[in-house]
């Protein structure tokens, strides 16, 4: 029993002697993780307590500057270290799809999706935005399966399909010049394909 008490006492003393983790200052947080609001996926992190008390104190944080979700949450809590248990409130966002935004419940899965989105090439990101705007769920694999490319118009896409899949000059001869690409385009986009705001085309499965 004496030995057990000695062990517990030694353990308690070691914990008391261990230095507290240093909390970063606001400026240190901004220097390391602050967002330039230049299109990189970012959120403005406040707390519900401050908001209810009439304060919007917080900071814009660039999600792409974090290596992990745990690091992100830790920095958010350090930002509001003046509260014992801050209830984080993400009051605004930019640089990622609206479907991934949540004022109060950014979980690890959502965080990972935002990072995944941020790492897309600019043209792929624009195309994915079109895909989401057409009402599809956030699914990069299905997006890549459906994506056909960017075209100036639906007629331009119809011409692409004809030239890629059919040799109408051989089958129609001189009549090929009379082929109605506009009518063909209308048929294609009745259900087999769809085009987004930025002219990216997708197959409909």
Quote the CA–CA distance of 133 and 62 in Å, as a whole number.
24
Query: What is the reported pLDDT for 163?
Result: 81
Is there a contact between 59 and 45 (Cβ–Cβ < 8 Å)? yes
Quote the CA–CA distance of 142 and 67 in Å, as a whole number.
26
Summarize the chain as % helix, strand, coil (round to 5): 50, 15, 35
Phi, psi (rounded to 5 degrees) for 166: -135, 150
Residue ranges per structural domain of the chain = 19-119, 140-203
First-residue to last-residue Cα distance in the chain: 71
Quote the CA–CA distance of 7 and 28 in Å, as a whole number.
39
Query: What is the reported pLDDT for 170?
Result: 57
State the sign of the Cα–Cα–Cα–Cα dihedral 86, 89, 94, 98.
positive
pLDDT, one tens digit per residue, over 10-55 is 445 544 544 446 899 999 999 999 999 999 999 999 999 999 999 9
Alpha carbon 72 to chain centroid distance?
Answer: 15
In a structure prediction context, what are the per-residue pLDDT tens digits for the chain, which is 205 residues long?
Answer: 444 334 344 445 544 544 446 899 999 999 999 999 999 999 999 999 999 999 999 999 999 999 999 999 999 999 999 999 999 999 999 999 999 999 998 999 999 999 999 999 999 999 999 999 999 999 999 999 999 999 999 999 999 988 876 666 555 555 556 578 899 999 999 999 999 999 999 999 9
């Amino acid at each position: 029993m004496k030995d057990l008490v000695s062990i517990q006492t030694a353990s308690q003393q070691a914990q008391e002697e261990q230095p507290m983790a240093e909390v970063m200052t606001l400026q240190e947080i901004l220097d390391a993780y602050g967002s330039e609001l230049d299109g990189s996926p970012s959120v403005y992190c406040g707390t519900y307590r401050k908001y209810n008390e009439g304060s919007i104190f917080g900071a814009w944080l660039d999600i792409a500057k974090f290596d992990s979700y745990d690091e992100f949450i830790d920095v958010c809590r350090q930002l509001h270290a003046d509260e014992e248990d801050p209830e984080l409130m993400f009051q605004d966002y930019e640089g990622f799809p609206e479907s991934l935004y949540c004022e109060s419940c950014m979980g690890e899965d959502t965080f990972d999706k935002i990072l995944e989105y941020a790492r897309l090439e600019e043209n792929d990101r624009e195309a994915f935005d079109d895909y989401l705007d057409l009402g599809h769920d956030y699914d990069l694999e299905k997006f890549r399966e459906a994506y056909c490319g960017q075209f100036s118009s639906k007629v331009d896409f119809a011409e692409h399909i004809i030239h890629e899949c059919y040799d109408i000059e051989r089958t129609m001869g001189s009549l090929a010049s009379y082929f109605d690409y506009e009518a063909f385009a209308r048929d294609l986009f009745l259900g087999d394909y769809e085009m987004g705001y930025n002219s990216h085309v997708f197959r409909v499965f």
